[in-house]
């Protein structure tokens, strides 16, 4: 893969909250590989944070507000993108949320509202964003979403987020089938545990990291930089025939039966 594998490409990045965000690691790698990026931020609370971070890419790097549960904000976001970029090539979906209490107790206690919110923010948003972005992917494109092993196996405390990630992964497959004829690929990276703001909301997260150090073939999870490299690969022509897949970047943990 060349250093400038994404040269000439434009991408939109959803999910930078701070410098520890996985979205930030992938954005840095995409930028280094030559892509021009446009960011979302969710409400005024995060505006300054994101503004300060993206200034690293040059003063002309743009960001627009977008809460992914709000159709009007998604429409407004992409109409502003259209004003500044003639076409889009890349979309990163690195967004998830579930009410804290749903990630603490047992899964059977999940309320209807927590189930709805988790799926709206973490899974349906991929469908809504892909539909909006695909309109501008006139020369093909690559859509990438972040997922976790809790989608396919039971991980203590991950609860409704695991069910939402299963929906995200299935959505990626259906989107890949729909959009393939337009040369738009849709893939997921299933990352091992990484210390981020969202991860801190999961009860027992430190124990999860330790578990990977003890049980993954590589005796560790993954680093944000490694997720960045994988993100560049999946966005590049090196992955031109790969779509609808979930690629595990987890120290090999996923292959273990015991
Ligand atoms: P993070 O930095 O907290 O990123 C999560 C992002 O989702 C934040 O920017 C958050 O913004 C955003 N978000 C939540 N609700 C939103 C909404 N309604 N509209 C727009 N944005 C919204 O944590 P992260 O760990 O990097 O998470 C990124 C992705 O990686 C998630 O899909 C997560 O499930 C996945 N992942 C994480 C790990 C891990 O161990 N960290 C492992 C595998 C997969 P606010 O802060 O404003 O809510």
Give catalytic residue positions. Answer: 148, 158
CB distance 236 to ligand 1 below 6 Å: no
Measured in Å, residue 42 CA sits from the centre of ligand 1 at 11
Rounded Cα distance, 253 and 164, in Å? 21
CB distance 126 to ligand 1 below 6 Å: no
Which segments of 89-158 does DSSP mark as H helices, in order?
112-119, 125-134
Q: How far is CA 193 from CA 23, 79, 199, in A?
A: 14, 35, 8
- Residue 82 has a pLDDT of 96
Q: Which atom of ligand 1 is nearest to the CA of 43?
A: 47
CB distance 251 to ligand 1 below 6 Å: no
**Which residues make Cβ contacts (< 8 Å) with residue 241, sequence separation at least 6?**
none
Neighbours of 228 (CB within 10 A): 21
| pLDDT per residue rounded down to tens, the chain (258 residues) | 557 999 999 999 999 999 999 999 999 999 999 999 999 999 888 899 999 999 999 888 999 999 999 999 999 999 999 999 999 999 999 999 999 999 999 999 999 999 999 999 999 999 999 999 999 999 999 999 999 999 999 999 999 999 999 999 999 999 999 999 999 999 999 999 999 988 888 788 899 999 999 999 999 999 999 999 999 999 999 999 999 999 999 999 999 999
CB distance 198 to ligand 1 below 6 Å: yes
Measured in Å, residue 171 CA sits from the centre of ligand 1 at 18
- Please report, for the chain, the start and end positions of each structural domain, with discontinuous segments joined by +: 10-248
pTM of the shown model: 0.98
Could you give phi then psi for residue 174, rounded to 5 degrees? Answer: -65, -40
Measured in Å, residue 164 CA sits from the centre of ligand 1 at 13
Q: Which atom of ligand 1 is nearest to the CA of 191?
A: 43
Superfamily of domain 10-248: NAD(P)-binding Rossmann-like Domain (3.40.50.720)
Rounded Cα distance, 175 and 127, in Å? 7
Q: Which atom of ligand 1 is nearest to the CA of 145?
A: 32
* Radius of gyration (C-alpha) of the chain in whole angstroms: 17
Rounded Cα distance, 104 and 121, in Å? 19
Q: How far is CA 110 from CA 133, 208, 253, in A?
A: 32, 21, 27
């Amino acid at each position: 893969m060349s250093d400038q594998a994404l040269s000439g490409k434009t991408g939109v990045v959803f999910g930078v909250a701070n410098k520890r965000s996985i979205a930030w690691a992938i954005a840095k790698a995409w930028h280094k590989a030559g892509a021009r990026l446009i960011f979302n931020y969710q409400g005024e609370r995060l505006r300054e944070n994101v503004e300060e971070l993206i200034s690293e890419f040059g003063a002309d790097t743009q960001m627009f507000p977008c809460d992914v549960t709000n159709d009007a904000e998604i429409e407004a976001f992409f109409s502003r993108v259209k004003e500044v970029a003639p076409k889009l090539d890349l979309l990163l979906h690195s967004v998830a949320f579930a009410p804290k209490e749903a990630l603490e107790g047992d899964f059977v206690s999940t309320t209807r509202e927590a189930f709805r919110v988790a799926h709206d923010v973490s899974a349906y948003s991929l469908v809504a964003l892909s539909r909006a972005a695909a309109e501008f992917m006139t020369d093909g494109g690559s859509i990438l979403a972040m997922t976790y092993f809790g989608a396919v196996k039971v991980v203590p405390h991950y609860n409704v987020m695991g069910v939402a990630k299963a929906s995200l992964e299935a959505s990626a497959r259906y989107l890949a089938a729909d959009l393939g004829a337009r040369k738009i690929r849709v893939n997921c990276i299933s990352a091992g545990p990484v210390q981020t703001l969202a991860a801190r909301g999961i009860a027992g997260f430190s124990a999860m990291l330790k578990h990977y150090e003890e049980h993954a073939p590589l005796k560790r999870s993954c680093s944000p930089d490694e997720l960045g490299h994988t993100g560049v690969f999946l966005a590049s022509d090196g992955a031109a025939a790969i779509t609808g897949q979930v690629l595990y970047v987890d120290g090999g943990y996923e292959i273990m039966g015991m």
